[in-house]
Structure 1
Amino acid sequence: MFDTEEYMFFNPSPNYREMMILKIISKNSDTSQESLAKKVGIVPSMVNRYLKDFEDKDLIIKSGENRRRMSYQLTKNGQKRLQFLMVSYINEVSKLYTDTRDSFEELIKALKKHNLKNIFLYGAGVVGTIVLKVLNIEDINVLGFIDDSISKQGDKIHGIDILNPKEVDQFDYDAIIIASFRHSEEIKENALKEKLKNLFIFKIDENGNVSLNEEEII
């Protein structure tokens, strides 16, 4: 399960919270309400409401002398409910991945059409990181990132080096893809000043579909 704090467009739903609480209890029956609240990202009073609802629906059995020594056990109904929620979650995540990949379909087709297998991504930012993940799945070799920011040069993103533009000529590459939407023109100008060749630029339409400007810049 992904950490929702990393995703600004995804707020946890009641079903997701329910699944998280049941999953945590299934692994540790002695977990406290405070611990549950911290892991799920809600206040303890909301956890208490979920637990009360679980009891009413025969999803958990609660035992203990007081709140500090309370333990929880999933019933058979609770185990079935957790399994249902997990399957539903996996189904939706897989659909999200499929929809995301479809957004990059034209980009992937263009790379394969031009037989671009060894590439650099110019722009070590959010866009570049997203594209790296997609290209890794498609078995396209990203040799490295290029970035004009001195503070980023020498660092890594997911194990991939971030290079100074002047370092690129020592590599044998098929293309440099400008991995930015907002700063693509500025990056293009810098790349041309450094006499970098085989440059391609990303485009994105109003539907969120990503493609490659197939007009090569010499």
Structure 2
Amino acid sequence: MAKTETDSPDLDNESRITLGLLNVVHDNAATSQRSMADDLGIALGLANAYLKRCVKKGLIKVSQAPANRYAYYLTPKGFTEKSRLTAEFLSQSFNLFRRARTESAELFSQCQSLGWNRVALYGLGDLTEIMTLSARDFDIELVAVISKDTSLSDFAGLPVIHDIPRPEDIDAVIICNIVNSQESYDDACAHFPPERVLVLRFLGVSGSSGVGGNERGR
């Protein structure tokens, strides 16, 4: 699945960065700290802090290389930790997919019964892609993906727009932003009828009653 600014938090942030760092070192022992930071999408100082932490934990070994450079290697303990975190990531990703497919089917079924056939998705990420797959099983037209912080013009086969459409242009907005779901929900409710802003239960958004329901505006 595509990586975006709202990619799913399958692992807590510390574990996610640690796994990413272990993968980078495993792929290229001669990588620089700047490259590590760029690959992980984090600040150089943060990459340096995590690298030092991994060295202290005995996950990574540092060796002097020619031209005043360093080479980084995974220790046996590092390989074990990488395998453990990878297994956890895959397990949680599968659980996310399974739950999202189940709840999105319930949500689209309710939209269809209410005649809400033109729907926009709010947020870019894994959940957005899962929702586009689920929508194919229903008489639902996905109009666009809403994201205010991206330069992408399309995502998952849908046009990306920066503003929430007018109520007369679409029937409902579905929140697909896992990382900032509450913020996205509040923003959508401020610009669109709250009773037509829909959220999957597992996102745990305050003010929403879960799949296909909304406590605001009732």
TM-based fold match above 0.5: yes
Separation in structure 2 between the aligned mates of residue 120 and residue 111 of structure 1, nearest angstrom: 5
DSSP 3-state at the match of 1:106 = helix
**Structure 1 regions of 5+ residues with no counterpart?**
148-154, 163-176, 186-200, 212-218
Could you tell me whether the CA contact under 8 Å between 2:22 and 2:82 is conserved in 1? yes
Report deviation, 1:69.
1.4
Task: Pick closer, same or farther for the CA change 1:66–1:56 going to 2, 3 Å.
Answer: farther
1:206 matches 2:204: no
CA deviation vs aligned residue, 1:140-177 (integer Å, no higher than 9, x gap): 26685558xxxxxxx96533589xxxxxxxxxxxxxx8
1:140 matches 2:137: yes
2:76 alignment partner in structure 1: 76
1:59 alignment partner in structure 2: 59
**Structure 2 regions of 5+ residues with no counterpart?**
145-152, 161-169, 174-187, 200-206, 214-218
Report deviation, 1:104.
2.7
Select which of 158, 172, 178 maps to 1:179. 172
Could you tell me whether the CA contact under 8 Å between 2:132 and 2:156 is conserved in 1? no
1:214 alignment partner in structure 2: none
* More relative contact order, 1 or 2 (CA 8 Å, 6+ apart): 2
Task: Pick closer, same or farther for the CA change 1:66–1:15 going to 2, 3 Å.
Answer: farther
2:118 alignment partner in structure 1: 122
Report deviation, 1:28.
0.9
- Give the structure-1-normalised TM-score: 0.56
**Highest Rg: 1 or 2?**
1
- Give the structure-2-normalised TM-score: 0.56
1:97 alignment partner in structure 2: 97
Task: Pick closer, same or farther for the CA change 1:121–1:143 going to 2, 3 Å.
Answer: closer
Matching residue's letter, 1:158: A
DSSP 3-state at the match of 1:61 = strand
DSSP 3-state at the match of 1:209 = coil
Task: Pick closer, same or farther for the CA change 1:143–1:157 going to 2, 3 Å.
Answer: farther
Could you tell me whether the CA contact under 8 Å between 2:97 and 2:130 is conserved in 1? no
- State the superposition RMSD in angstroms: 4.5
Separation in structure 1 between the aligned mates of residue 23 and residue 89 of structure 2, nearest angstrom: 13
Report deviation, 1:122.
1.8
- How much identity, in percent, do the aligned residues show? 21
Report deviation, 1:124.
4.4
DSSP 3-state at the match of 1:104 = helix
**How many residues in Structure 1 have an aligned counterpart in Structure 2?**
173
Report deviation, 1:79.
1.0
Separation in structure 2 between the aligned mates of residue 122 and residue 91 of structure 1, nearest angstrom: 33
